[in-house]
A and B are shown apart, each in its own frame.
Chain A
Amino acid sequence: MSPDTQDAQGSKGTIRVLQLYPRDMNIYGDWGNALVLKQRIGWHGYTPELLEYNVGDDFPDGVDLIVGGGGQDSGQLVIQDDLQSRAGVLTELAEDGAPMLVICGLYQLFGRFFKTRSGSVIPGIGILDVETHGTEERLIGNVKVATAEFGEVLGYENHSGQTTLGDGVRPLGTVAKGTGNNSSDGQEGARYKNIVASYLHGSLLPKNPAIADFLIRTAAERKFGAFVPGSPDDGYAVLAREHAARRPR
Chain B
Amino acid sequence: MNQHSKACFTAEQLQEFLAADEGELYSMLGTLAIASGTPIDLLEAGRAGKLYQAPPTVLGSGQRPFKHSGLEQLGKAFLAKWATQLRKAICENDHLLKEEKARGKREVDVLIATIVASITSNIPELQQFSVLLNVLAVIIVRSGVNAFCQDLS
| A, B from the same assembly | no
Interface of B toward A, CB cutoff 8 Å: none
